[in-house]
């Protein structure tokens, strides 16, 4: 088959047979967000390019290499969002939400776009569940946000995930640390990869995150940020650890976590797996106390995280996490002939009004082909409507699994009859397989 255009590299379709898995994940993340009283925020898929340049940071890989940026017909530079935080904070500032009760607790489930080398768990269009807690400076907020992420992973049934945390300090303590890093890495100028060489001046902390074998080896003995934290940052980090410990949340401190986006301050964290190859970070986040000001708003200490939903799904499939079954049609109504077709549509309408799902034939197929279809879609009951049924006002409802047959009235009394005769069996089957 030669299509006019196939899908763009690095994008994925959620097909009708698979989309229930996405619906399930979305349902779970929404319900956990609700338990923590986070409300949904929806922002546009594109924003002015400056938002990400300023918000995410000019020196980051995301802004330098990965953004989908284009000029629109009005000659404005537009970018498809590479992440959700900048847009969410822009929106919160623009609508003055900080004048209401603080903190503002928002979550999103959204598509993101990054020009990356596609591979398992790394796409050009991917989806994130993210939360932002804006206007909360206490370390309690850090612990709560981390616990929210953990709850989502647990609720999805994902196992063997480790939580790694670090503090990357505030601009003051980081300035000293950056100097120390520059001094350290300068000694290895001849060995660092090209990217890291350019990071040396602009953002030496990112060298710690380099995936190249040589750079990560060099980074092993680099100075550690935790030795450079100012008193306030140190105290904040200690409290976060204490709160997590008292809530029985296991974690390890990994001083190498620096995160890819420039806006982070103090606490940063990642939920990591080794089970889906190199793309081990399923959920990552941290504090970004300076971002609101950076974007032109007031000072609003904030934090959040983003969870890669494709990675979560990959992991769930790999680990055999249970997904509730997709919904299937309750009743397939098979018409025999033109007159029956009109009756079938009417009966379908009634079935749906009674709160069940109904399917009928759209292709003028014979009975055998129709029953084959009903079987294929997994319909729970079937009912044949022909001249005899119309004449007698009665039809047979067949349980497709057990073969049991029940007579129902199909005249004006159809709804009542349907409800009375098969309420128990249909309802119990529906409850067994209900998705929501
Ligand atoms: P990575 O280490 O994979 O490059 P990152 O540091 O760029 O991740 P963030 O910007 O913090 O990631 O995004 C948060 C989460 O979004 C990641 O932990 C990951 O689960 C997911 N994610 C990021 N980039 C992609 C991508 N290209 N494809 C699929 N998921 C992604
Ligand atoms: Mg990345």
292-339 residue pLDDT tens? 999 999 999 999 999 999 999 999 999 999 999 888 999 999 999 989
User: What range defines the domain where residue 112 resides?
Assistant: 16-170+230-319
Pocket test for ligand 1, best of 114, 284, 309, 314 (most atoms within 8 A of CB): 284
By CB neighbour count within 10 A (0-12 exposed, 13-18 middle, 19+ buried), where does 122 fall?
middle
Ligand 1 neighbour 83 (Cβ under 6 A)? yes
Read off the CATH number of the domain in which 114 is found. Answer: 3.30.930.10
Assign 211 a pLDDT band (cuts: 50, 70, 90): confident
184-194 residue pLDDT tens? 999 999 999 99
- On whether both 277 and 340 belong to a single domain, the answer is no
For residue 202, the model assigns a pLDDT of 83
For residue 418, the model assigns a pLDDT of 81
- Nearest ligand to the CA of 308 is 1
> Is the separation of the CB atoms in 255 and 226 below 8 Å?
yes
- Give kind and range of the element (H or E) at residue 121: none
Smallest CA separation from ligand 1 atom 13, residue? 306
Q: Distance from CA of residue 155 to its chain's centroid? A: 14
Do the domain assignments include residue 200?
Answer: no
| Cα 188 to ligand 2 centroid, rounded to whole Å | 25
| Residue 131: strand pairing partners | 107, 305
Ligand 1 neighbour 281 (Cβ under 6 A)? yes
Ligand 1 neighbour 263 (Cβ under 6 A)? no
> Is the separation of the CB atoms in 249 and 150 below 8 Å?
yes
- If you average pLDDT over every residue of the chain, what do you get? 93
Report the pLDDT averaged over residues 233-251: 98
pTM here is 0.92
Neighbouring CB atoms inside 10 A of 304's CB total 27
- Give kind and range of the element (H or E) at residue 167: strand 162-167
> Is the separation of the CB atoms in 260 and 288 below 8 Å?
no
How large a percentage of the chain has pLDDT more than 70? 96
| Cα 76 to ligand 1 centroid, rounded to whole Å | 27
Q: Is the dihedral of CA 19, 25, 26, 27 positive or negative?
A: positive
| Cα 354 to ligand 1 centroid, rounded to whole Å | 45
Q: Which of 288, 319, 350 is the last residue of a domain?
A: 319
Residue 431 has pLDDT above 60, yes or no: no
Ligand 1 neighbour 116 (Cβ under 6 A)? yes
Q: How far apart are CA 25 and CA 155, in angstroms?
A: 9
> Is the separation of the CB atoms in 144 and 36 below 8 Å?
yes
For residue 436, the model assigns a pLDDT of 38
Q: How far apart are CA 233 and CA 212, in angstroms?
A: 30
> Is the separation of the CB atoms in 336 and 387 below 8 Å?
yes
For residue 354, the model assigns a pLDDT of 86
Q: How far apart are CA 218 and CA 221, in angstroms?
A: 6
Q: How far apart are CA 201 and CA 29, in angstroms?
A: 40
- On whether both 239 and 306 belong to a single domain, the answer is yes
Q: How far apart are CA 264 and CA 170, in angstroms?
A: 9
| Cα 61 to ligand 2 centroid, rounded to whole Å | 7
**281-287 and 265-272 as β-strands: parallel, antiparallel, unpaired?**
antiparallel
Residue at token pair 């650890």:
241
Beta-carbon contacts of 350 under 8 Å, excluding residues fewer than 6 positions away, are 414, 415, 418
For residue 426, the model assigns a pLDDT of 52
Do the domain assignments include residue 202?
Answer: no
- On whether both 56 and 153 belong to a single domain, the answer is yes
- On whether both 144 and 81 belong to a single domain, the answer is yes
For residue 423, the model assigns a pLDDT of 60
- On whether both 423 and 278 belong to a single domain, the answer is no
- On whether both 97 and 125 belong to a single domain, the answer is yes
57-95 residue pLDDT tens? 887 889 989 999 999 999 999 999 999 999 999 999 999
What would the two tokens of residue 242 be? 């204490």
Q: How far apart are CA 410 and CA 415, in angstroms?
A: 8
14-38 residue pLDDT tens? 999 999 999 999 999 999 999 999 9
Residue 277 has pLDDT above 60, yes or no: yes
DSSP 8-state secondary structure symbol assigned to residue 130: E
| Cα 286 to ligand 1 centroid, rounded to whole Å | 14
- On whether both 301 and 387 belong to a single domain, the answer is no
Q: How many domains does the chain have?
A: 2
For residue 434, the model assigns a pLDDT of 44
For residue 161, the model assigns a pLDDT of 96
Ligand 1 neighbour 229 (Cβ under 6 A)? no
* Alpha helices (runs of H) in 122-274, residue ranges in sequence order: 139-155, 171-186, 194-202, 213-219, 231-246
Residue 430 has pLDDT above 70, yes or no: no
Ligand 1 neighbour 137 (Cβ under 6 A)? no
Q: Which of 319, 341, 362 is the last residue of a domain?
A: 319
Read off the CATH number of the domain in which 367 is found. Answer: 3.40.50.800
Report the pLDDT averaged over residues 265-278: 91
For residue 428, the model assigns a pLDDT of 52
> Is the separation of the CB atoms in 134 and 92 below 8 Å?
yes
Residue at token pair 């029956």:
340
Ligand 1 neighbour 128 (Cβ under 6 A)? yes
* Alpha helices (runs of H) in 210-321, residue ranges in sequence order: 213-219, 231-246, 291-294, 309-319
- On whether both 55 and 130 belong to a single domain, the answer is yes
- On whether both 122 and 266 belong to a single domain, the answer is yes
124-171 residue pLDDT tens? 999 999 999 999 999 999 999 999 999 999 999 999 999 999 999 998
Work out which ligand 1 atom sits closest to the CA atom of 259.
6
**46-48 and 358-360 as β-strands: parallel, antiparallel, unpaired?**
unpaired
DSSP 8-state secondary structure symbol assigned to residue 65: I
| Cα 62 to ligand 2 centroid, rounded to whole Å | 7
Assign 210 a pLDDT band (cuts: 50, 70, 90): confident
> Is the separation of the CB atoms in 10 and 123 below 8 Å?
yes
371-385 residue pLDDT tens? 999 999 999 999 999
Ligand 1 neighbour 306 (Cβ under 6 A)? yes
| Cα 200 to ligand 1 centroid, rounded to whole Å | 23
Do the domain assignments include residue 358?
Answer: yes
Q: Which of 319, 348, 373 is the last residue of a domain?
A: 319
* Phi, psi angle pair for 284, to nearest 5°: -150, 145
Do the domain assignments include residue 187?
Answer: no
Ligand 1 neighbour 206 (Cβ under 6 A)? no
- On whether both 307 and 404 belong to a single domain, the answer is no
For residue 246, the model assigns a pLDDT of 98
Q: How far apart are CA 310 and CA 255, in angstroms?
A: 27
Work out which ligand 1 atom sits closest to the CA atom of 285.
11
């Amino acid at each position: 088959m030669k299509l006019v255009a196939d899908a763009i590299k690095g994008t994925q379709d959620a097909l009708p047979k698979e989309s229930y898995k996405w619906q399930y994940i979305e349902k779970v993340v929404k319900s956990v967000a609700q338990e923590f009283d986070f409300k949904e925020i929806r922002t546009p898929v594109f924003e002015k390019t400056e938002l990400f340049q300023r918000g995410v940071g000019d020196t980051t890989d995301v802004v330098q290499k990965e953004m989908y940026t284009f000029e629109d017909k009005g000659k404005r530079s537009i970018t498809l969002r590479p992440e959700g935080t900048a847009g969410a904070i822009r929106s919160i500032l623009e609508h003055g939400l900080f004048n209401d009760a603080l903190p503002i607790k928002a979550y999103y489930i959204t598509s993101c776009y990054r020009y990356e080398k596609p591979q398992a768990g790394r796409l050009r269009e991917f989806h994130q569940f993210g939360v932002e807690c804006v206007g909360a400076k206490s370390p309690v907020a850090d612990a709560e946000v981390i616990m929210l992420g953990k709850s989502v992973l647990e609720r999805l049934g994902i196992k063997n995930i480790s939580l790694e945390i670090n503090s990357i300090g505030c601009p003051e303590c980081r300035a000293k640390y950056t100097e120390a890093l520059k001094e350290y890495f300068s000694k290895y100028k001849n060995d660092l990869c090209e990217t890291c060489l350019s990071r040396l001046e602009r953002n030496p902390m990112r060298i710690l995150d380099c995936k190249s074998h040589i750079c990560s080896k060099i980074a092993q003995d680099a100075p550690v940020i935790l030795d450079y934290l100012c008193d306030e940052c140190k105290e904040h980090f200690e409290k976060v650890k204490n709160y997590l410990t008292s809530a029985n949340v296991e974690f390890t401190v990994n001083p190498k976590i620096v995160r890819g986006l420039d806006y982070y301050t103090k606490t940063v964290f990642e939920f990591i797996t080794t089970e889906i190859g190199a793309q081990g970070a399923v959920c990552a986040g941290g504090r970004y106390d300076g971002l609101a000001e950076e974007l032109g708003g007031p000072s609003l200490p904030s934090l959040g995280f983003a969870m890669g939903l494709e990675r979560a799904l990959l992991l769930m499939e790999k680990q055999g996490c249970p997904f509730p079954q997709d919904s299937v049609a309750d009743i397939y109504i098979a018409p025999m002939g033109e007159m029956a077709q009109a009756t079938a549509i009417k009966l379908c309408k009634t079935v749906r009004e009674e709160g069940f799902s109904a399917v009928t034939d759209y292709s003028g197929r014979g009975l055998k082909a129709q029953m084959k279809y009903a079987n294929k879609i997994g319909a729970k009951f079937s009912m044949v409507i022909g001249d005899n049924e119309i004449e007698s006002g009665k039809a047979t409802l067949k349980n497709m699994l057990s073969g049991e047959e029940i007579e129902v009235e199909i005249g004006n009394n159809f709804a009542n009859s349907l409800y009375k005769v098969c309420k128990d069996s249909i309802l119990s089957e529906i409850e067994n397989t209900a998705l929501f």
